[in-house]
């Protein structure tokens, strides 16, 4: 699938190594920071992408770099007569949840769309990570007006502690359709497919067209058959894991924004203009994550005004500015909470997802503002693009080790990082060292152990410290010690920007 991209880029890099004069070997560098960096952002970038290989489900390729993981879930979908092999496990368990997987795909794609030109050799790996997800999403949306949104019984999966390679819990398949709608997951899936179509547009045009065609169809389904998947038929299945608290309006605006960007069709612009207010364009919430997309949609649509000069979307600049003003300390409208050590703090459960998603929005909005030569005004306080980048950098630096505990919250990065993450495959002996099956309940024997996980899930970013900067590093503490794909996905773009701006790429 994405191999044609990989080959094409490899050939170009090979030819450039012979044809580029020595004095042009490095691109002109526009630095927004001093040349000295306290962190190796490039190393963190490499690892943040590598992590996704540890979350793969399905038949693993010969290029698999996290080698303690093996094939798993090879009969997924078979009981329903569909092929649902592949995709990603969302976090430390063995369930494939379509809602966060689609958001992960959208954010990985957005990272590449905005900063892929700076990624150098990591661009191929980022595209492979996106392609692993889109192949699955294409399977999940193969039938019109139907999306397979989950594989695995979460309750039964969570009652076991077993490697994905040993799974013997029911691989139940759950879907949304005309009779059981799920607008939020459908619209997010459309966003993911549309965003990914932009990633592959130049290097694999036919695949890009397939993704976009599917995105258009899926969005039409999402919009026509409206209803929340966690309020209706699937409530017992998806709650309390990935209940949609924010409703589905934000996903419709977000999905339309991505389809507008991918198609440039007036129909999506008209949709946004007609429905923007009722879908929450001016909401005052300031949380961006797998459930709530309002802020992301505002930032995304602000580009159409700031960069493409689309005057009809000028309100989205104001909406985006309101979000920035609520976030930056010292402004009259500031609402955000920070730990004593300086970490943005939203909630106890997996707080780091908001740190990475917010940091991405900051560097991305700074890029748009710089292009338009504009600033943000918060009352009498002027916020420059440089200020946004500095706030994002401070958050990433905290994540990588500039914090009271001097601990990196990315596994495998730095001298000190979490050793006992809440992750089944990482915490149990690998198939290579322990070929015999580990039974469902027997795996729980590792839960209270102080021994480090035997398999290092390189690049995994955990939920992070509490509001007082404390982190116990306990395997049973899923709120703080569990990594997730949607924590890593937005971090890829921010790390790319930082690595480039410090001359590390």
Helices in 163-293 by DSSP H: which ranges?
183-199, 205-224, 235-238, 249-263, 266-275
Rounded distance between C-alpha atoms, residue 495 and residue 115, angstroms: 9
Structure tokens that stand for 89 in this block:
């496990």
Angle at 97 between CA 4 and CA 293, to 5 degrees: 85
- By DSSP bridging, strand 96-97 and strand 146-151 are antiparallel
Rounded distance between C-alpha atoms, residue 59 and residue 75, angstroms: 10
Helices in 284-432 by DSSP H: which ranges?
294-306, 315-327, 352-372, 385-400, 424-427
DSSP SS3 for 439:
coil
Rounded distance between C-alpha atoms, residue 443 and residue 448, angstroms: 11
Cα–Cα separations (whole angstroms), residue 294 to 1, 63, 69, 89: 32, 37, 36, 25
Segments of 363-500 assigned E as strands: 376-378, 381-383
Q: Which residue has the tokens 């009779």?
A: 179
DSSP SS3 for 148:
strand
Catalytic residues: 422, 473, 482
Residue in 62, 68, 22 with CA at minimum distance from that of residue 458: 68
The contacts of residue 190 (CB under 8 Å, 6+ apart) are 215, 216, 218, 219, 222, 255, 258, 259
């Amino acid at each position: 699938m994405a191999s044609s991209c990989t080959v094409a880029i490899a050939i170009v890099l090979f030819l450039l190594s012979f044809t580029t004069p020595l004095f042009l070997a490095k691109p002109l560098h526009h630095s927004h920071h001093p040349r000295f960096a306290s962190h190796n952002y490039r190393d963190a970038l490499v690892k943040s992408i590598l992590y996704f290989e540890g979350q793969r489900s399905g038949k693993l390729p010969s290029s698999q770099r996290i080698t303690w993981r093996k094939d798993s879930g090879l009969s997924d979908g078979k009981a329903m007569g569909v092929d649902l092999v592949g995709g990603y496990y969302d976090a430390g368990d063995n369930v494939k949840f379509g809602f966060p997987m689609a958001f992960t795909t959208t954010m990985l794609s957005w990272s590449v769309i905005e900063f892929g030109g700076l990624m150098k050799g990591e661009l191929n790996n980022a595209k492979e990570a996106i392609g692993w997800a889109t192949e699955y999403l294409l399977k999940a949306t193969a039938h019109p007006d139907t999306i397979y949104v989950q594989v695995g019984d979460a309750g039964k999966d969570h009652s076991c502690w077993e490697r994905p390679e040993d799974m013997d819990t029911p691989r139940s398949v759950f879907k949304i359709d005309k009779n059981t709608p799920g607008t939020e997951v459908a619209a997010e899936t459309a966003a993911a497919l549309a965003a990914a179509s932009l990633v592959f547009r130049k290097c694999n045009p036919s695949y890009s067209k397939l993704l976009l065609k599917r995105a258009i169809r899926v969005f039409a389904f999402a919009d026509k058959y409206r209803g929340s998947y966690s309020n209706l038929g699937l409530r017992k299945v998806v709650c309390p894991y990935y209940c949609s608290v924010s409703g589905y309006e934000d996903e419709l605006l977000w999905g339309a924004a991505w389809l507008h960007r991918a198609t440039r069709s007036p129909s999506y612009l008209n949709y946004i203009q007609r429905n923007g207010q009722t879908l929450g364009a001016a909401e005052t919430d300031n949380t961006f994550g797998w459930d709530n997309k309002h802020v992301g949609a505002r930032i995304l649509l602000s580009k159409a005004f700031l960069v493409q000069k689309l005057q009809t979307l000028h309100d989205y600049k104001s909406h985006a500015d309101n979000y920035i003003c609520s976030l930056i300390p010292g402004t009259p409208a500031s609402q955000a909470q920070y730990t004593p050590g300086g970490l943005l703090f939203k909630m106890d459960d997996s707080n780091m997802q908001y740190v990475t998603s917010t940091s991405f929005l900051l560097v991305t909005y700074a890029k748009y503002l710089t292009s338009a030569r504009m600033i943000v005004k918060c009352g009498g306080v002027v916020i420059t693009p440089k200020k946004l980048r500095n706030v994002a950098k401070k958050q990433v630096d905290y994540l990588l080790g500039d914090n009271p505990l001097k601990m990196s919250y990315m596994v495998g990065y730095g001298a000190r990082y979490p050793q006992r993450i809440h992750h089944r495959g990482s915490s149990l002996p690998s198939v290579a060292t322990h070929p015999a099956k580990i039974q469902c309940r027997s795996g729980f024997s590792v839960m209270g152990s102080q021994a480090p996980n035997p398999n290092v899930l390189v690049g995994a970013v955990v939920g992070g410290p509490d509001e007082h900067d404390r982190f116990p590093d306990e395997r049973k503490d899923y709120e703080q010690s569990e990594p997730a794909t949607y924590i890593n996905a937005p971090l890829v773009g921010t790390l790319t920007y930082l690595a480039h701006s410090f001359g590390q790429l």
